[in-house]
Each structure stands twice: as structure tokens, then as C-alpha cells.
Amino acid sequence: MLDWAQPAFKGMQQLNRVQSKVYETALFKADIILLCAPTGAGKTNVAMLIIVQKIKRNRNDDGTFNHGNYKVVYVAPMKVLVTEVVSNLSNRLKDYGVTVRELSGDQSLSGKEIEETQIIVTTPEKWDIITRKSGDRTYTQLVRLLIIDEIHLLHDNRGPVLESIVARTLRQIETTKENIRLVGLSATLPNYEDVALFLRVDLKKGLFKFDRSYRPVPLRQQYIGISVRKPLQRFQLMNDLCYQKVVAGAGKQQVLIFVHSRKETAKTAHAIVETAMANDKLSKFLKEDSASHEVLQSQIGLIKNGELRKLLPYGFAIHHAGLTRGDREIVEALFGVGHLQVLVSTATLAWGVNLPAHTVIIKGTQVYNPEKGAWMELSPLDVMQILGCAGRPQYDQSGEGIIITGHSELQYYLSLMNEQLPIESQFISKLADQLNAEIVLGTVQNNAKEACHWLGYTYLYIRMVRNPTLYGLAPDALVKDVALEERRADLIHSAATLLDKNNLVKYDRKSGYFQVTDLGRIASYYYISHGTIATYNEHLKPTMGDIDLYRLFSLSEEFKYVSVRQDEKMEPAKLLDRVPVPIKETLEESSAKINVLLQAYISQLKLEGLSLTSDMVYITQSVGRLVRALYEIVLKRGWAQLAEKALNLSKMVGKRMWSVQTPLRQFHGIPNEILMKLEKKDLVWERYYDLSSQELGELIRSPKMGRPLHKFIHQFPKLPVGRKDSQKQYISEDHTLTFTVPIFEPLPPQYFVRVVSDKWLGSQTVLPVSFRHLVLPEKHPPPTTNRATGLAAPSSHCP
């Protein structure tokens, strides 16, 4: 490897077989690349080679770099992976002076941060949102490399997002002639050529496909199908199977067991320990005179979680996101050096931490999907990621992956893991929303013909050509219509008609022309489905109160699969008594459950049930976008009172507090008991500005808190609207805000202008505007409409 590339590969003696074959193209050429290789084959290092090449192209003769000339975007499928990639790239590229930053969830970067950042690591959804905004090229104008990790997600329900950002990038390359290199990283898949065609890869130069023989540690796979239906018997049988597999390698091989809920981790671990104890096999896992036994005993006092403390002495542990960071780090360290024999974890471990084991067991393949409101099979992406943990390259000659599933699902997982399931497109399900985004962006230039052309850049088009019958076409469709122009036109017409019906787009069916609407822009910018916009259109009224507003949120299409299950009715009923805004519907209705969970989220109430917690997480992923969109819609309609209510809800969701609570809750570092004392005082917020730090300390009977409270109060945003410039000097340029208000008779003595903060609760200013000296324009009679009275003779109008 050349000297200038070596700093990114410190500690590596040589590249592996996969990396060596891609090396020349990755580091010295500009071809678009699709790399398909098994988990653990070193795809991340190939991405590093490509990134280093981009850095090298901006290197000066004196060894310095022009980092302001380019940006790299790395798209990873999950937030936990985004964080991991940021950490990895930051450490390995620090010698080049490169800045790597995360862009995911609600996190955005300031203009200065964007300018200073060379590598942006983000999720597909976040990058889709960013690239939808035509007026903001801040992020995109300098992008010269786009890396999409796990591109086999095309088959997932998130696949349409990937199709959208790839199609958008390809069209951007064509229209702007910008030199953007595309790179797709994928697990091994059967129809890799289709994905390569979608990315516009030159099949002879940029396509690299490696089968399972390139896995660093060969994987032996075992599939076990269970036909028992009764839940308790099924649970017990799965535990027995796990015990048999674990005890077979006890004391010799580490085992990772993946389950699908936090509670299940402790239940499974305890079940195996108890069975081993009953069979007098517990000593096989950890001998009392071993060094590991001493180490584990020394760590017990540092553990916060009670279940983990009970398991540790036996060489067992659990791992999930509910543990404290300290507990998780102790478990990871102990397992990493071999002191723990068995670790029972949720799938977050497979994604966020590199902790391989000889044997990996997936205990059950049914996971609760809050988006669908049902138990679903594990996604192919999760299965491949979990089994990728099997086999430790430095210790094992082979690894073992075991899937315990239902008997009816056996064939599915056999086909999946043997690369027999082709990657299909899910784009049709999201076509209307993606079309709206392109119309708003302007890449589809206002007509159906251009939209059909855009559809030709999607993976959907590639798969329709390859497998027409699967996508509703006749077997001989390609004979009559080689480019499927008619089918594309039908799809665009159907999607545009749907958008027109919901007022997101004005669609002229005769000419095929589109016209953007305010609702369409809001839906695109806030990533909202046309179905939700239709619901808001139907129910929004200017006279709505808080109760109606919360109910409308709960009717959003994003939550249509959230259901009320028999086994969880007690907890929502308890929550109902603890939330402040009344709910009209009974808890039999899903909208009531969503409403309760929204208010529980704002109130920061803790939940117990697994499925209810999953629903809460799912709802809160969308709540910020939805309530903000509601506010924007109401604002566009000019409904001031409802706009204030919607903005208030948006801020309460963002701050996770109610507007009646003290505004000081928006600052971190104030003890909760102090905040509660302040909320019990009958003192208006404005009065706090007049109190000294000593008076504040006396007010709450805590003198030492007086000074910090005084500091926070005077840091709170406060904008006086009225100002007099006695010296008649311009301090800065004027900012004029013009708006129209109706004038009624009799003329009121004054109007009140109310300025409300967009982000801070409790930050507002009211300014009276006197009408005492107001001179109204002269009244004119309204114009009359012409009536069809026929033409009069010219002489009747002329003298």
C-alpha cells in the first residue's frame, strides 16, 4: 500500500482476499462500485480505501489538504451503526485532519459545522429529507462520494428510501455534471447484477461479488423448526434447546444467545442456569478455582442491575439497551476477554458492538413490529447481522450459527441464508409520496412525461423488466413495450391522481402537468404520507381545542397498524388517570391508546409492557415531524388561535414538558425537587426577573441554589418588541415584518401584537398597538358584478 494511504490502516499487516481484489479500483479509479461480500469480510476497509482516495485527490504538493473542496456522505441503516461508523472513521482519519460528524434523527448541523465537516455519516431517511429541499444545497453541493452500506435493504420496507436517494443522485449527476462517485456495500445476494444496473455500475469494472467461501471464519449453520403452538410449551422447548446447545460447549466455547425483548434476556439466562443447576452441570461453565471466577466476583459490586448481579457468578450475563452504560461496558469487556461463557442479548449488541462468539443462537424469529402492529419475522438484515457474530477470527477455525424458529418458517430461512431469495423492490407502496417529493424538489419538472422518465432510474424499473409478472404485468408485456413506458405512465397517473385528490399536487389529467401546493411542500419537508395529509384535511377546523388537536394527531396514518391488545389494557388505563388532557374515546380504540402514549411521553412517564414500550418508541419517532406539520398547515390557513395551540404542542413534545410547568425545566442541571418547589409557588414567570439570587434562594429555602437559578432565569430568551432609539443611530439594518389584520367597526382602541418563541416554552412578548391616531382610508363601494343584460346601443352610453 502506498505511503499516503497507510495512516488509515494502522496495525494492519496486509489486506484480506476481498480487499486485495477491490484494491486497484477502490484506490486508483473513479468507477461506481457494488461490493457484495459476507458479513465480516472487511467491506468497511474497502470503504476506507475509497474515502482515502477522495482525500488524496484533494492533497497539495506540500502534503496539506484542500478539505473545503469535497464532502463524503456515508449512509448506514441504523442510528447505532451511524455512531459506530463516526467513531471508526474519526479515529482512523485523524492524521489527515478530516472531520467526521453524525447527521441522524432530529440532529442537524449548523452552517459552520457543515463547512468544517468533510464526512457526513447519516441514515437513509435523514439523507432523503436533506436532499428533498431544493433551496438548501448546503449539504449536497460539494458531495463527491456517496457510500450506501447494506444496500440489500432495498428488499426491506425502508427500501423505497434508498431507491429515492440513488435515483435523485443519478439525476443530479446527469443534470449538473457533478462528479459524484456512488458505492454500494451489500451482503451476498442472488440478483446482484440487478442492483449493479440500478447503481449504473460497469459490470466489467465496478462489480465485485464474493460468496460465503470468503467469510473469514467458515460458518456451520443449523435450523431448528418448532411445531408446538402453545406459548408456554413453546417457550420451555426453546429454553431446553438453548440449554442443550450451551451445555455441549460449556467451558470450551463462548455462546451468544439473541432474544427479542429486554425481559426475555434475564428469563432465558435464568432458565438455562436453573436447568444446569438441576442437572449438576453448572460447574462446567465456570470452575470456582478459575481466574475468571475471581474476576467476576470482583466486578459484582460495580454492577447496578439486580438480574445481572445474580447471573455473573455463574459465568452468565445479559445485555440490552435498558442497562446503564457502565453495566453494558463491564459485560462487553468481560465477554471480550473470555471471562463470561454465555451472554443473552437483544439484537442491539449485534449492531452496535463487535463481540463475536464461537456459537450464536437466535432464539425465536418473531419480533414485535409497532409499525405493523403485529409480530413479524426477523428481517433478513437482522438475521445476517446476528449470524455475522458467529466465529472469532483470531481464535476459531469455524463458527456455528443456530436459528430456532417455527416449523412453517424453516424454508424461508433456509432460502434466505442460502441466497435463494432475490432482492425485490418495495417502491410501489411509497410511489405517491416519493413522486410528491420529486415534484416539490423540482427534479420532476411539472409533467407526467418527466415523472415517467424519473421512474426509469429506480430499482422498481429494473425489477419490472426482469420479472414483469411479479409486478402485475403480462408475461409478454416487454414484447409490446420494451421500455415499459405504458406501465410507467399508468403508475405515475395513479399516483398523481391520488396526490391531486388529497390536494398535495394539482394534476391536469389532459395535459399531464403538475402544480405544487403548500400541503405538498409540507408533506415533503416533514416526511409525511399523503394519507395523513388527507386525514388532517378532513378533520382540521379553526375552532378546534386541545382535546381535538391531540385526537387528530392520534388519527395520523403513520399509526394505522397500532392496535389495542388484550394483554396490555391495564397499563393504558392507569396512564389515563395520570395524563392531563382528557380523552373522549374508550381505550378499546387505538386512537385513545396513541393519545395516552403521546401524553405519557410528554409527561416522561415510565412504561412496563414490552409491546407498549415498542409502540411508544415508534410513536415518538414520528411525533416531532407530525405536530410540526400540523402547525405549518394551520399557519398557512391563517388560523391564529389554533396555530398557537399546535405550536405549543410542538414545543411540549420537543421539551417533554407541559406548558403549565416552570420554563426552567428547559435547562439541564436543576434538581427536580427545586423545580417542583417553584411550581408550587403562586408567582407569575415575569416576576422572577425582579428577584435577586438571594431572594430566589430564600423563596425555595435553598440559599445555595439562588445563584444558579438567577443565572438560568436571565439566560432565558426574552425579546422586547418595542424599542426607542434616543440617539437616532442605526444599530443594524431594519427587519420589517408585514402582515394583514382585519379592522372592525366600531374601531377598537388597540390591538395586541403577540410574539411567541418558535422553540422555547414560556418565551413570549405582548405589545399593544394603539389605534388612537389611526386614519383609515376612504371607503369605496364594492365593485358590482356584470349581469348578462345584453348589449346596449352605443348611443345610450355616449352623449
Instruction: Give the position of cell 423492490.
Output: 425
Predicted confidence (pLDDT) per residue in 200-209, tens digit:
999 999 999 9
Give the span between the Cα atoms of 672 and 317, in whole angstroms: 34
- For 301-313, how does the pLDDT look when each residue is reduced to its tens digit (9 = 90+)? 888 888 999 999 8
In this predicted model, what pLDDT tens digit does every residue of 678-719 receive, in sequence order? 999 888 888 999 999 999 999 999 889 999 999 999 999 887
- How far apart, in whole angstroms, are the C-alpha atoms of residue 307 and residue 293? 18
Q: Are the beta carbons of 717 and 757 closer than 8 angstroms?
A: yes
Coil, helix or strand at residue 596:
helix
Helix (H, G, I), strand (E, B) or coil at 159: helix
Q: Using the predicted structure, report yes or no on whether residue 394 has a pLDDT greater than 80.
A: no
Cell of 25: 479500483
C-alpha cell at 381: 438484515
- 644-677 pLDDT tens trace: 999 999 999 999 999 999 999 999 889 999 999 9
Q: Which amino acid is at 654?
A: G
pLDDT of res. 419: 66
- Rounded distance between C-alpha atoms, residue 105 and residue 100, angstroms: 17
Please state, in angstroms and rounded to a whole number, the distance separating the CA atoms of residues 153 and 161.
10
Angle between helices 159-176 and 459-466 (to 10 degrees): 110
User: For 500-510, what is the mean pLDDT?
Assistant: 94
Model confidence at 135, pLDDT cuts 50, 70, 90, reads low
DSSP 8-state secondary structure symbol assigned to residue 390: B
Confidence (pLDDT) at 108 = 74
**pTM of full prediction above 0.75:** yes
DSSP state of 581: S
d(CA 493, CA 488): 9
C-alpha cell at 34: 457494488
Q: Where are the beta strands (DSSP E) in 427-558?
A: 505-507, 514-516
Is the predicted pLDDT of residue 789 greater than 60, yes or no? no
Q: For 396-453, what is each residue's pLDDT tens digit?
A: 788 899 999 988 888 888 877 776 678 999 999 999 999 999 999 988 877 899 999 9
85 CB-near residues (< 8 Å, 6+ apart):
44, 74, 76, 121, 149
How much is the pLDDT for 320?
86
What is the CA angle 381-386-391, rounded to 5? 135
Q: Does 88 score more than 70 pLDDT?
A: yes
The predicted pLDDT at position 797 comes to 43
How many other C-beta atoms lie within 10 A of the C-beta of residue 477? 18
Whether the ω angle into residue 7 lies within 30 degrees of 0, i.e. cis, is no
Domains of the chain, each with CATH number or no CATH: 3-211 (3.40.50.300), 219-417 (3.40.50.300), 427-524 (1.10.10.10), 526-655 (1.10.3380.10), 663-715 (1.10.150.20)
Percent of the chain that is helix, strand, coil (3-state, to 5):
50, 10, 40
